[in-house]
Chain A
């Protein structure tokens, strides 16, 4: 608001290397994902102090990471969708649908070869991508709000999954899927599930922060009309974003299948809300234009760490839901504060 003061300006403009160093801290402090990270860290510290040998054991860290893996894959796609100021309620149902069709496809092929597993993966990714692209198409071309579109496809995907299976879970999946991806570990230490989820998150974070694709994602969420006027093909980009969200839901379905060895159709009814909560806790704004993947990673781990820690400490695990709900509300409140400060 105050009139810009001229004198210090030109010097700051001259030596450019000065700028990033100066603003690094400012940006760090301004980004709410840092605060969420600190909350996560303090949770870990608290549980470690309370039950060091159990909570801080390598095996427990592995449990936590494995529990978080599938959710992290879902939340990575949702981070993009929410940054565009959209929402995707269908991810949990698409996860189930993709798991079902992948299991059916692998069983139809039969056998325990890598080829069968890869075919199952391809089917899961393709079906997820199709649902996502369908969402994106309806949001952009039919101009239906994403909330309604994805609420509709939630029902359609879940209903279709039940129709395909006749309402009975597909428990018969290739054993190799479970032993390799589901419970296998790299060097006997790092679960493949965790590696895959981490790779998805890293690629997602780099694309979001470093590429043109990520920039358009922010710009559309920030000012869709402005992005359009600047020559961004908004519809095409949004369809891609929803398609990516769906594809990652398909991947999550495949990973869940590998982990549990069953489609557990009824077991994913709150996955969408958990993933949305994780993204929002991580500092991504539901109003679009703001968010980071690092924040989403923190947001995914907070509920998982709480759940795990409460069990170990001996607090009724139901408290976890209460605590996560409270964290969610606080996260959105912080976002509102920041926005009102931004907009003055």
Chain B
């Protein structure tokens, strides 16, 4: 992790909303093949930082590097082109349509030839490829024709994550993916996060839940008052240390130089 080049790096990001300065020179680093947890108290700027990196809110100033070269990400579309996807907290699934339709929403596979030109869907192909994606990530969906609304919380989260992973070959952001889930379902999703990493992608996990962060994260970046205040490894620090960094009770050397 130390030697590799970051796949995604944010430098000195500034973002304000009216008079509120949400990010004041924030840095953030994501390496390939790691689960990095982005933690911070409410209002620390986690969500804003993520939205900046995926193009929902372009930054006022600062630099974003992708595989070492500067990029501009001003729309969600541009981040997708780079291989970055986001699993939003509220899932962003369409509940009334089936898993495959959700997987391919906005990227539908159409039939060959004239019918395809007219926008006729190749439903069998989308279903087949969705099934492959679910199987490879261990997401269990019994009935591929049921609307997503009929499925359990971890199944739905599994679909949302599978969708992100299918289209992101570089980085997957997950905003509190277990917030609405029970114990068993949470464990399933955490296992899923590890599998996503093992398949060669970087995962950015936004979470409040310290035990969960320590369970899956390879690295923890702490955000406080719109800047990064620490970059820690779970094996080297305690949960109390992380909480101390979040609240400002204890200061660490900023992760910028070290990381």
Contact = CB atoms under 8 A, between A and B. Distances in A.
Interface stretch (B7-15, B26-34, B88-96, B246-254): B88-96
Given A23-B145, A226-B94, A210 B121 contact: yes
Interface in A301-344: 342-343
B94 A289 contact: yes
Interface stretch (B58-66, B149-157, B211-219, B226-234): B149-157
Interface in A15-33: 16, 19-20, 23, 26-27
B195 interface: no
B97 A12 contact: no
B4 interface: no
A342 B150 contact: yes
Interface stretch (A118-126, A185-193, A211-219, A269-277): A211-219
A141 interface: no
A227 interface: yes
B92 A226 contact: yes
B258 to A, nearest CB: 35
Interface stretch (A2-10, A146-154, A161-169, A260-268): A2-10
Interface stretch (A89-97, A130-138, A228-236, A251-259): A228-236
B152 A1 contact: yes
B190 interface: no
Contacts of B150: 342
B92 A215 contact: no
Contacts of B184: 3
B48 to A, nearest CB: 17
B96 A221 contact: yes
Contact of A219 (B77, B80, B105, B146): B105
B235 to A, nearest CB: 32
Given A23-B143, A213-B119, A225-B92, A218 B97 contact: yes
A231 B80 CA distance: 10
Given A19-B144, A211-B118, A227-B94, A342 B135 contact: no
Chain B contact residues: helix, strand, loop or mixed:
loop
Contacts of A12: 142
A13 B143 CA distance: 10
B177 to A, nearest CB: 15
A324 B79 CA distance: 52
A340 to B, nearest CB: 11
B120 A230 contact: no
B83 interface: no
Interface in B125-158: 127-128, 131, 135, 140, 142-147, 149-150, 152, 155
Nearest to B111: A210
Give the interface centre of A222, A225, A227, A343 by most chain B CB atoms within 10 Å: A222
Nearest to B147: A342
A6 B127 CA distance: 20
A215 B120 CA distance: 10
A212 B76 contact: no
Given A210-B121, A215-B108, A4 B94 contact: no
Interface string A38-49: 000000000000
A9 B152 contact: no
Given A3-B184, A210-B120, A230-B106, A223 B93 contact: yes
A278 interface: no
A19 B145 contact: yes
Contact of A289 (B77, B90, B91, B96): B96
Contacts of A223: 92-95
B140 A6 contact: yes
A301 B211 CA distance: 60
A96 B144 CA distance: 45
B110 interface: yes
Given A19-B145, A211-B119, A211-B120, A219 B107 contact: no
Contact of A226 (B80, B93, B135, B149): B93
Nearest to B150: A342
B101 interface: yes
Contact of B95 (A13, A210, A212, A222): A222
Contacts of A3: 184
Give the interface centre of A26, A210, A223, A290 by most chain B CB atoms within 10 Å: A223
Given A212-B110, A229-B92, A289-B97, 15 more contacts: A1-B152, A9-B142, A16-B128, A210-B121, A218-B94, A218-B96, A218-B97, A222-B96, A223-B94, A225-B90, A226-B92, A231-B107, A232-B105, A342-B95, A342-B147
Interface of B: 76-77, 80, 86, 88, 90-97, 101, 105-108, 110, 118-121, 124, 127-128, 131, 135, 140, 142-147, 149-150, 152, 155, 184
19 contacts: A4-B142, A4-B152, A9-B142, A13-B135, A16-B124, A19-B127, A19-B143, A19-B144, A210-B121, A212-B119, A215-B105, A219-B97, A222-B95, A222-B97, A223-B95, A225-B90, A230-B105, A288-B96, A289-B96
